[in-house]
Amino acid sequence: MSREAAFNAALAILLLAVPLAAYALDEPFYVALATRIAILALAAAGLNLALGLGGLVSFGHAAFFGVGGYVAGILAVHAFNAEPLFGLLPASDQMPVVWLVAALLCAAVALPIGAISLRTSGVYFIMITLAFAQMIYYFAISWPAYGGEDGLSITVRNAFPGLSTANPAGFFVVCYVLLMAVLALIWRIANSRFGLALQAARQNEKRVAAVGIRPFRVRLAAFVISAVITGVAGALYADLNRFVSPSMMSWHMSGELIVLVILGGTGRLFGPVAGAILYVLLEFALGGVTERWQLFLGFILLGVVLFARGGIVGLVAGKVRHG
């Protein structure tokens, strides 16, 4: 077992064992904290697929996070009030249905955004994804039907068949299992022909084109899958907070997702998990000491970028070896 695999396994066990122990000791706050970690890790894992493997620095992933959140919120509200969607379709408050709708809607949004943005590269790509996310953000703010700027409250958390999601441990387990399933999927993707083509396109676009693979299509597919994962995480996040607002789509959120990926280690399978653990714990620890915690977070981030490249996983397991 390599050092990275051992570290990954330790993270996976820790993230499961600590909240369950906290639940047994009747400390629901820590369970909620761990749920937040798992959901943010899931969102960042989605971004990591585009950013880490594909080298596509999307500064607009908060849009997908927010779209997923609004799907969860809108479906929950409609199901609670027993109002059909668009006057036709019955709404469902079952999480698998919510996730499916969030995934489909995010794919439908990400496809045109990706198709236009991927015509460009480098700094243009960063700014265009940012601009598209802002477009959706302003749309959410000025669309009055679902709360506009004030956001939308979810009275009852969406349900999962056979489990009580109102119970913090039940909801945590749902999030944790989904996170692990998605990480397994990303691992499969990274080692598939598609994943290899994606990583190769990051390293040398011309050579990939020379062997007969169009980088554009591979990247577009990766961008859409990445958006779908982040969108499902957004649906969970809305359920966690029982609230969704345009701030989930703000560019601060996009920045935070990038921070999670880089803090953990860009392109590493468990990088987003390590990043989310560190970020949420830092926020919690600094927030307990001073209300100026963002100031210190800023200095820590700056230090990580300038002096500790490779993130946490890079620090523990060393550089990626290209075999």
Q: Which residues form the interface with another protein (CB under 8 A)?
A: 51, 57, 59, 116, 119-120, 122-124, 126-128, 130-132, 134-135, 138-139, 141-145, 251, 255, 258-259, 262, 266, 292, 294-295, 297-299, 301-302, 305-306, 309
Q: What minimum distance in Å lies between the beta carbon of 312 and another protein?
A: 15
Give yes or no for a contact between 95 and 157, defined as CB atoms under 8 angstroms apart. Answer: no
Give yes or no for a contact between 1 and 16, defined as CB atoms under 8 angstroms apart. Answer: no
Q: What minimum distance in Å lies between the beta carbon of 1 and another protein?
A: 30
State how far the alpha carbon of 258 is from the alpha carbons of 48, 59, 164, 184, in Å.
8, 8, 32, 21
Residue 259 tokens read as: 């921070």
Residues with Cβ within 8 Å of residue 305, at least 6 apart in sequence: 262
Q: Would you say 236 or 262 has its CB closer to another protein? A: 262
Q: What minimum distance in Å lies between the beta carbon of 163 and another protein?
A: 37
Residues with Cβ within 8 Å of residue 269, at least 6 apart in sequence: 4, 8, 183, 186, 187, 190
Q: Would you say 126 or 197 has its CB closer to another protein? A: 126
Q: What minimum distance in Å lies between the beta carbon of 295 and another protein?
A: 4
Q: Would you say 98 or 201 has its CB closer to another protein? A: 201
Q: Would you say 168 or 264 has its CB closer to another protein? A: 264
Give yes or no for a contact between 84 and 78, defined as CB atoms under 8 angstroms apart. Answer: yes
Q: Would you say 21 or 295 has its CB closer to another protein? A: 295
Residues with Cβ within 8 Å of residue 144, at least 6 apart in sequence: none
Q: What minimum distance in Å lies between the beta carbon of 191 and another protein?
A: 24
